[in-house]
Chains A and B, each alone.
Chain A
Amino acid sequence: MHPAYSVILFTTASGAGYGLLIWLALLGAAGLVAPERGLGAIGFGLALALITVGLLASTFHLGHPERAWRAFSQWRSSWLSREGVMAVVTYAPAGLAAIGWVAFETAGGLWAVAAWAAIACALLTVYCTGMIYASLRTIPQWHQPLVTPLYLVLGLMTGALLTNALLHAFGTPLAGFSWLVIALLLVGLALKGAYWRAIAHAAPSYNAEDATGLGRFGKVRPLDPPHTQPNYVQREMGYHVARKHAQKLQKMAVLLGFLAPLMCTALTFAPSVELGMSAAIAAVLIAGAGMVLERWLFFAQAQHLVTLYYGAETA
């Protein structure tokens, strides 16, 4: 699949935004962090900005952005529609929780109810994002049981990295939270590793003989394409990164997305406040680059069944 930068930006930015929203709301509602105005303004502001940037990026990717409101109508059948609905719904409790922190410096009582609602809505939104991909049977690398859990875990992981950086920046680091970040990085790495192994070892589902029904004559190979230049289907769905190349990029994604942030997060236990803060911020930046690479690979390693009509032997 062609890795569209708007979609890469949308899924990584909004995933991190929802993750940050979830952890802030949770820390506040559980009384683990004081709902102090500065942290609330920057934290919720950043979360909502990332979510909004992501949504806007996905809207730019449309042929008719001005009709985007129509996408809220088909939630009965369409995961994309459900995602749109949930994304908008999430703004309400998230906004309320933010107001509690910023305007009243409180996260208890009814404000806590808003926080828990925001957490549930954010989780559902990211779940819908994952399901948009996981429900596509035409793309075997996406139609995997690990895809939706990965979207959730990577969102929570990047959100936790952001939260940790903010806690350090505001001088209220929590040792327990650094441990949580480390745990999430390890879970994320394990899941992503399992995903890469699963797609590397999966037997292809179909071949060109199945696609054309011409297997009765023997091996099928293309003789003449239907056009002189690649068409939309090939441009959109024909992109495939070479296996060797992908393996190199996977190693880089592991390093940037998981291992380097792990080391940085370990450094946040250092007694020096400056070192802790810089390490937590570095973890966010490096993991961000790693996530963009991870998301790029998610597209580039996905082979659509339609490639069988355009020369792929198996898919």
Chain B
Amino acid sequence: MTSLPKSTGKKLGLVIDLDTCVGCQACATSCKEWNTGGYSAPLTDLDPYGPDPHGPWLNRVHSYEAGVGAEGCTVHFPRSCLHCEEPDCVTVCPTGASYKRAEDGIVLVNPETCIGCKLCSWACPYGAREYDESSGVMKKCTLCIDRIYNQNLEPEDRLPACVRACPTGARHFGDIGDPESDVSRLVSDRGGYDLLPEFGYRPVNKYLPPRGRSAAKDTASARAISNAAPLTQSSTADLFFRWADRVLSR
């Protein structure tokens, strides 16, 4: 049924730290690897070795530049389904294939009943749904439902593949509806935000903003000052240790 549930028991989702993401694409490739054999398998690429390789990916990592000069920064920006609370991608579906689960809030497409009309992808402002030409159905992030509840996996592996793969710990998974959860704390501590909040789909996934360059600059100049201070009354011993430190830390 493509009507939305009134409320969901949990609000499972991801919290993505734009400060620590290094844009290595580990989450995206790990997602593709798991999901090409998972719930919405396969994720076939067309023309994979030719001039125009393309196919569905459920997670894509963009890189943006924001601002200029000392205030500017480069931000790696992973983008996948945000498992919104009130998304039209569910309600526009004519078949009921696109639905939001009442128990945990995960937004899914049933590959057995999807007719491939693509309307749901038109209704998503975040570009999270990708049509699979080879199987004729819509594909999207499943939040790895086939991992997070999978009793055959070790408990530490019962996480979305992208979260498990991230080498910098920039991706966090949990119940964002529970204010006491680790992810909710992270969101409130770090000022986690919604993408396009005014649009009104109420995304569950949150983004943690990059820490400002000015903060980094302040610590850098503070360090420079504290390093420079002893120079004025440095003894021979100080100079020797400093030289030794430099040599040893090469």
Contacts and interface: CB of A to CB of B under 8 A. Distances in A.
Contacts of A214: 18, 64, 66, 75, 77, 209-210
B93 A221 contact: no
B23 interface: yes
B145 interface: no
Indicate the member of B66, B74, B118, B129 with the most A CB atoms within 10 Å: B66
A63 B136 contact: yes
Chain B interface extent, by class: 35 or more
A236 interface: yes
A45 B212 CA distance: 68
Interface in B19-77: 23, 25, 28, 52-54, 56-57, 60-68, 71-75, 77
B167 to A, nearest CB: 18
Interface residues of A, number: 61
B170 interface: no
A249 B12 CA distance: 48
Contact of B54 (A208, A231, A305): A231
B115 A68 contact: yes
Given A77-B91, A211-B195, A211-B196, A231 B57 contact: yes
A230 interface: yes
Given A71-B115, A74-B96, A233-B130, A218 B72 contact: yes
A309 interface: yes
A138 B124 contact: yes
A139 interface: yes
B211 to A, nearest CB: 11
A263 interface: no
Interface in A186-234: 206, 208-233
Given A220-B65, A231-B54, A67 B122 contact: no
A289 interface: no
Given A137-B199, A213-B195, A226-B62, A80 B119 contact: yes
B64 A222 contact: yes
A209 B74 CA distance: 14
B32 to A, nearest CB: 11
Interface in A54-69: 61-65, 67-68
B54 A218 contact: no
Contact of A232 (B126, B130, B207): B130
Interface in B94-110: 94-97
Given A221-B64, A221-B65, A64 B137 contact: yes
Contacts of A211: 125, 195-196
A218 B67 contact: yes
Nearest to B206: A213
B199 A236 contact: no
Contacts of A132: 92, 119
A136 interface: yes
B231 to A, nearest CB: 35
B95 to A, nearest CB: 4
Contact of B63 (A65, A215, A223, A306): A223
B113 interface: yes
Contacts of B8: none
Contacts of B68: 218-219
A135 B93 CA distance: 13
Contacts of B71: 217-218
Contacts of A210: 196, 198
B57 to A, nearest CB: 7
A244 interface: no
Nearest to B18: A214
Nearest to B92: A78
A64 B54 contact: no
Nearest to A81: B94
Interface in B234-248: none
A172 interface: no
Contacts of B137: 63-64
Nearest to A4: B118
B209 A206 contact: no
B63 A74 contact: no
Interface in A264-298: none
A212 B199 contact: no
A247 interface: no
A230 B54 contact: yes
Contacts of B66: 209, 212, 214-221
21 contacts: A63-B118, A64-B114, A64-B116, A67-B95, A67-B113, A70-B97, A76-B2, A78-B2, A79-B92, A84-B94, A136-B88, A213-B195, A214-B209, A219-B66, A221-B66, A222-B63, A226-B60, A231-B54, A232-B54, A237-B121, A304-B122
Which 9 A-B residue pairings sit nearest by Cβ, starting from the closest? Answer: A63-B116, A63-B136, A218-B67, A226-B60, A81-B94, A217-B66, A217-B67, A71-B94, A306-B127
Given A73-B94, A213-B209, A220-B65, 9 more contacts: A1-B122, A64-B137, A71-B117, A77-B91, A78-B92, A137-B88, A217-B66, A221-B66, A223-B64
